[in-house]
A and B are shown apart, each in its own frame.
Chain A
Amino acid sequence: MKKRILALAVTVAMLAGSLAGTTALVSASEDGSTQGTNTFVDGGTDLSFWTFQELHVPFWTTMADVWNEQNPDRPINLTVTNGESHSTHSKLLIACQSGEGAPDMADIEIGYYGSFLKDGYLLPINEAVEPYKDDVVMSRITMYGDADGNYYGVDFHLGETVTYYNMEILEEAGVNPDDIVTWDDYFEAGQKVLEATGKPMTAVETSDLFLPQAMMLELGAQYVDEEGNPNLVTDEHAKVIEYIRSKLAEGTIEIAPGGGFHTEEWYGHLNAGDVASITMPLWYMGRFTDYCADLKGKIAIAEMPVWNEGDVRAVLQGGTGTSVIKGTENEELAKDFLAFAKLSAEGCTYEWNELGFDPIRTELWDDPALTENQDNKFIAYFQTNPFDILKKNGTDLTAPDISGQYAATYQTLVSTTYSNAFEFSVDQDVTELLQGEQDSIIF
Chain B
Amino acid sequence: MARKNRTMTVLLLIFFLIVAAITLLPLALLAVSSLRPGSDLMRYGLNFSIDWNTANLNEYRMLFSGANNYFIWYRNSLIITVVQVALALFLSACVGYGFAMYDFKGKNLAFACVLLVMMVPTEVILLPLYRLITRMHLINNMWGIILPYLVVPMLVFFFRQYLSGIPKDFLDAARVDGCTEYGIFLRIMIPLMKPSFAAMGIYQGMSSWNNFLWPMIVTNSITKITLPVGLQSLLSPYGNNYDILIAGSCFAIIPILILFVLFQRYFIEGMTAGGVKG
Which A positions have Cβ atoms within 8 angstroms of B? 3, 6-7, 10, 14, 17-18, 20-25, 27-28, 31, 33-35, 52-55, 81-85, 87-88, 91, 94-95, 98, 100-101, 260, 262, 264-265, 267-268, 271-272, 290-291
Contact with A along B133-158 (1 / 0, CB 8 A): 01101010000000000000000000
Contact with A along B72-103 (1 / 0, CB 8 A): 10110011000000000000000000000000
- List the B side residues contacting A87 at CB < 8 Å: 216-217, 219-220
B72 touches A17 (CB 8 A): no
A24 touches B66 (CB 8 A): yes
- List the B side residues contacting A23 at CB < 8 Å: 66
The residue among A7, A33, A54 with the most chain B CB atoms within 10 A of its own CB is: A54
Min Cβ gap A418→B in Å is 16
A82 touches B71 (CB 8 A): no
For B, the interface residue count at a CB cutoff of 8 angstroms equals: 44
What CA separation (Å) do A10 and B261 show in the bound complex? 12
A271 touches B43 (CB 8 A): yes
What CA separation (Å) do A22 and B223 show in the bound complex? 11
Within 8 A of A (CB), among B192-227: 216-217, 219-223, 225
- List the A side residues contacting B229 at CB < 8 Å: 84
Min Cβ gap B209→A in Å is 11
Min Cβ gap B179→A in Å is 30
A18 touches B66 (CB 8 A): no
Q: Of the candidates A14, A24, A83, A101, which one forms a contact with B70 in the assembled complex, judged by CB atoms under 8 Å apart?
A: A24
What CA separation (Å) do A268 and B238 show in the bound complex? 16
A20 touches B66 (CB 8 A): yes
A94 touches B70 (CB 8 A): no
A28 touches B242 (CB 8 A): no
Contact with A along B37-62 (1 / 0, CB 8 A): 00101111000000000000000000
Min Cβ gap B40→A in Å is 9
Whether A20 touches B64, Cβ cut-off 8 Å, given contacts A83-B220, A85-B236, A87-B216, is yes
Whether A84 touches B220, Cβ cut-off 8 Å, given contacts A14-B255, A268-B42, is yes
A268 touches B71 (CB 8 A): no
What CA separation (Å) do A95 and B135 show in the bound complex? 10
- List the B side residues contacting A24 at CB < 8 Å: 66, 68-72
Min Cβ gap A285→B in Å is 14
What CA separation (Å) do A52 and B255 show in the bound complex? 30
Q: Does B17 interact with chain A (Cβ within 8 Å)?
A: no
A291 touches B71 (CB 8 A): no
Q: Does B239 interact with chain A (Cβ within 8 Å)?
A: yes
B220 touches A35 (CB 8 A): no
What CA separation (Å) do A138 and B242 show in the bound complex? 38
- 15 other contacts beyond A18-B79, A24-B66, with CB at 8 A cut-off? A6-B262, A18-B71, A24-B69, A27-B67, A28-B69, A81-B222, A85-B237, A100-B134, A101-B137, A101-B139, A262-B238, A264-B41, A264-B242, A271-B43, A290-B239
